[in-house]
Structure formats: structure tokens, C-alpha cells
């Protein structure tokens, strides 16, 4: 005698309907990677177009001006989601670096030529450029991360090296990053003779 809990035979039509339902759900619901790409697409497009990390206000202006870009998340939303504006930029660049992506960068080794050592003035100028671009003085992490992303963007666009030293040249030239930022603040402050 057969148990009543035994599986019943399914017709091929039932199996086809189930398969259609499952595939329809998979197509209708995007995966996490697709959602992340949609969220960061405007930011990635801006970096690929210009070869530089856009400032928050530049992103917001482009988002407000473009009829399609207004669907992109606001900059504060990206900052909350990724912990920092440069964190969102770094995540956007992951789509460029990923294998098989249509935006895959073909690497050349022209960027590997040795760079002359950075002078203290070049280190300070780079810190001041960060301040002018983002409106705050950088932490050591922000400065190094900005340099990485800017160099990647410049290479992708075929632009020259952006002359942003990594942490080591700053330490070599100015002893500590905190001293470098203090010196950059002093060098960019208006002098009393300039106020007249």
C-alpha cells in the first residue's frame, strides 16, 4: 500500500510552467551587482569622461542637469552607503577593474616609468588641490585613496600622471602627514599684505 505523502508525478506542462515562473522572477529581480552598478553608474561615467574624481557639488550639478541622471542617488546617499565620497568612487572603479566587464581597462605599462622624487612644494600643492576640490583638509587615508583613484582615472583617459604623491613621498619630504597638512594650510592662507 502506498503512503499518501508520496510525491505525485508532474506533467511536462507543470514543469514548464514552474521553470517559466522561476526564470521570470530571475529576470525581473536584478542581482546585487546590477543594483550596485545602477547606483554608481553616473559617478563612474563622470570619472571615465573626465579622468578625475568629481567633487560632490559637481556630481550633484550633473545629477540635477541631466534628465536621465536625476534618477541616480544623491551624493549624501552614496556617502552614507559607502562611508565616504572616496569610498563610493573606489567602489565605482571596481566595475572598471572587473574581468569581463565592458569597461575593462586594457593595461599598458607606460605609467610604470619611474617618477622623479616629489619636492616638498609638490606635496603641499597636492594637499592644497585636495582641499580646493573637496572643501576639507584630507586625512592620510583620504589623500592616499584620492591619489589612487585619480591615477587610475588619468590612465584610463590617457591623461598624464596627476602628480599626487602617495604617503611615502610626503613622509620623506615633510616627516609626517599631519605636519604636511599644517604646512599646506599655512601656505594656502591669505597673507595680511594680500588683504589690502
Which stretch of 23-27, 94-98, 135-139 has the lowest confidence by average pLDDT? 23-27
Find the angle CA(42)-CA(40)-CA(24) to the nearest 5 degrees. 110
Average pLDDT value for residue range 62-76: 83
Q: Can you give the residue ranges of every domain in the chain? A: 32-97, 110-188
The DSSP string of 74-125 is PHHHHHHHHSSHHHHHHHHHHHHHSTT-TTPPPP-SGGGSPPPPPPHHHHHH
**pTM for the structure as a whole:** 0.66
User: How far is Cα 114 from Cα 167, in angstroms, rounded to an integer?
Assistant: 16
Does position 121 have pLDDT exceeding 80, yes or no?
A: yes
User: How far is Cα 135 from Cα 61, in angstroms, rounded to an integer?
Assistant: 16
Q: 78-118, pLDDT tens digit by residue?
A: 999 889 999 998 888 887 755 444 444 445 555 455 456 77
| Residue 70 neighbours by CB distance under 10 Å | 12
| Residues 131 and 138 sit within 8 Å (Cβ to Cβ) | yes
DSSP annotation of 146: H
Amino acid at each position: 500500500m502506498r503512503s499518501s505523502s508520496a510525491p505525485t508525478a508532474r506533467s511536462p506542462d507543470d514543469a514548464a510552467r514552474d521553470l517559466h515562473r522561476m526564470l521570470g522572477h530571475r529576470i525581473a529581480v536584478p542581482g546585487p551587482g546590477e543594483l550596485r552598478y545602477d547606483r554608481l553608474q553616473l559617478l563612474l561615467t563622470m570619472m571615465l569622461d573626465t579622468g578625475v574624481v568629481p567633487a560632490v557639488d559637481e556630481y550633484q550639478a550633473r545629477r540635477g542637469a541631466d534628465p536621465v541622471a536625476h534618477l541616480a542617488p544623491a551624493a549624501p546617499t552614496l556617502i552614507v552607503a559607502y562611508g565616504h565620497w572616496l569610498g563610493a568612487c573606489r567602489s565605482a572603479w571596481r566595475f572598471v577593474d572587473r574581468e569581463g566587464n565592458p569597461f575593462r581597462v586594457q593595461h599598458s605599462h607606460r605609467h610604470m616609468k619611474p617618477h622623479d622624487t616629489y619636492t616638498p612644494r609638490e606635496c603641499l600643492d597636492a594637499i592644497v588641490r585636495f582641499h580646493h576640490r573637496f572643501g576639507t583638509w584630507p586625512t592620510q587615508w583620504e589623500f592616499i585613496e584620492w591619489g589612487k583613484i585619480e591615477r587610475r582615472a588619468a590612465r584610463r583617459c590617457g591623461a598624464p600622471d596627476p602628480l599626487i604623491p602617495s604617503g611615502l613621498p610626503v613622509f620623506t619630504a615633510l616627516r609626517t602627514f599631519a605636519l604636511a597638512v599644517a604646512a599646506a594650510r599655512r601656505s594656502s592662507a591669505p597673507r595680511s599684505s594680500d588683504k589690502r
